[in-house]
């Protein structure tokens, strides 16, 4: 099964009935144990400090109704407060990591999905990283993983994430193990080399690590049955956004102290591309007062025949 293959790592389970014998969540946990997947259980929503450590988790199981009073119908005001806490938790998780989140609820699924759409957590379609199901639907020996299997086949984004993640972590471990065997002080050795080359040390070290991780990643073998599966067609605007996202990185996501060849600048209603060598895109070390804004660049005007570039 694809689900068993790609869901590697620690899971997070948030459910107030974790310790209740013969509860449905106990059955779901048993299915996870059978696959020897490690997990961390919580009876209530984790604090912000704990959430900040959720960087490389594999998946999250969340009970939508974490009631402070079991088996009791909650007043509307209290129920809304609990929903807002769930929404806040999901938004914080989204900032810490992108991972599959499975919401378990016996309430109206459409109401939950509508609320998630309204809060900007998912889009109004089936291709989302948040999965809403009734606990009773997943009770059994393998129903959880069968449901995940069907969900993954309709979720190319999550499928690609988990496949890429698996290769990335393997390559990262290989890289740092190999370099540590060569010399435990390898970062210091390279840092001094970058200083002597008058380069941006942080950027050069980061790029060297990225290149070496990439070369250690084995060729990907994504499933065409999932990625080429027929479904809702994307319109031209959506296609352009994806292409732009793969080719351009907006200024808000860039380090303000880094300039590199290929950077695009927009002023006076024109677009320009920087062609100056990377080693010349840093302040002069012989001039301590020189800042990144003082660096002179070589810019070429980019002719735009149609449309615009994202600013």
Give the list of residues 6+ apart from residue 279 with CB closer than 8 angstroms, or none: 197, 198, 199
The neighbouring-strand residues paired with 104 are: 63, 133
Residue 110 to residue 268: CA distance in whole angstroms: 49
Residue 2 to residue 220: CA distance in whole angstroms: 15
Residue 223 to residue 159: CA distance in whole angstroms: 9
The predicted pLDDT at position 3 comes to: 67
pLDDT one-digit tens code per residue, 129-182:
898 888 888 888 878 888 888 888 888 888 898 889 888 999 999 999 999 999
List b or e across 27-37, with b for residues whose CB sees 16 or more CB atoms inside 10 angstroms.
Answer: bbbebbeeeeb
Residue 280 phi, psi (nearest 5)? -100, 5
- At 73, the pLDDT band (50, 70, 90 cuts) reads low
The predicted pLDDT at position 300 comes to: 93
In the chain, which residue ranges form alpha helices assigned H by DSSP?
Answer: 2-6, 24-34, 48-51, 76-96, 109-118, 143-153, 156-182, 186-196, 201-216, 224-227, 236-247
**Domain locations along the chain:** 2-154, 155-232, 236-310
Lowest mean pLDDT among 116-125, 183-192, 195-204, 205-214: 195-204
CB 38 within 8 A of CB 10: yes
pTM of the predicted model as reported, rounded to 2 decimal places:
0.73
What's the CATH code, domain 2-154?
3.40.50.2300
Residue 267 to residue 249: CA distance in whole angstroms: 17
- Token code pair at residue 36: 């020897």
Question: Which residue is associated with the tokens 């499928």?
Answer: 159
The C-alpha angle with vertex 102 and arms to 98 and 108, in degrees rounded to 5, equals 130
Residue 130 phi, psi (nearest 5)? -110, 130
Residue 127 to residue 133: CA distance in whole angstroms: 15
Summary mean pLDDT of the chain: 85
């Amino acid at each position: 099964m694809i689900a068993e293959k790609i869901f590697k790592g620690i899971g997070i389970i948030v459910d107030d009935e974790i310790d209740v014998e013969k509860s449905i969540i106990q059955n779901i946990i048993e299915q996870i144990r059978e696959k020897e997947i490690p997990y961390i259980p919580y009876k209530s929503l984790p604090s912000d400090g704990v959430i900040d450590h959720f960087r490389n988790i594999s998946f999250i199981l969340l009970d939508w109704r974490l009631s402070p009073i079991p088996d009791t119908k909650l007043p509307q005001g209290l129920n809304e407060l609990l929903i807002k806490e769930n929404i806040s938790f999901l938004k914080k998780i989204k900032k810490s990591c992108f991972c599959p989140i499975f919401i378990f609820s016996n309430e109206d699924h459409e109401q939950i999905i509508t609320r998630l759409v309204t809060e900007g957590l998912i889009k109004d379609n089936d291709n989302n990283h948040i999965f809403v199901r009734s606990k009773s639907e997943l009770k059994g020996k393998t129903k959880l993983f069968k449901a995940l299997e069907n969900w993954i086949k309709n979720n190319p984004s999550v499928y690609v994430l988990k496949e890429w993640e698996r290769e990335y972590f393997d390559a990262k471990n290989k890289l740092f193990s190999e370099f540590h065997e060569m010399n435990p002080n390898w970062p210091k050795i390279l840092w001094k080399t970058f200083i002597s080359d008058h380069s941006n040390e942080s950027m050069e070290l980061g790029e060297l690590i990225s290149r070496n991780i990439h070369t250690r990643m084995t060729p990907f073998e994504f499933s065409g049955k999932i990625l080429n599966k027929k479904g809702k067609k994307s319109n031209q605007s959506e296609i352009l956004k994806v292409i732009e996202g793969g080719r351009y990185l907006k200024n808000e996501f860039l380090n303000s102290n880094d300039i590199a060849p290929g950077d695009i600048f927009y002023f006076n209603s024109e677009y320009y591309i920087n062609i100056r060598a990377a080693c010349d895109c840093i302040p002069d070390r012989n001039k301590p007062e020189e800042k990144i804004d003082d660096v002179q660049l070589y810019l070429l005007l980019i002719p735009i025949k149609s449309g615009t570039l994202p600013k």
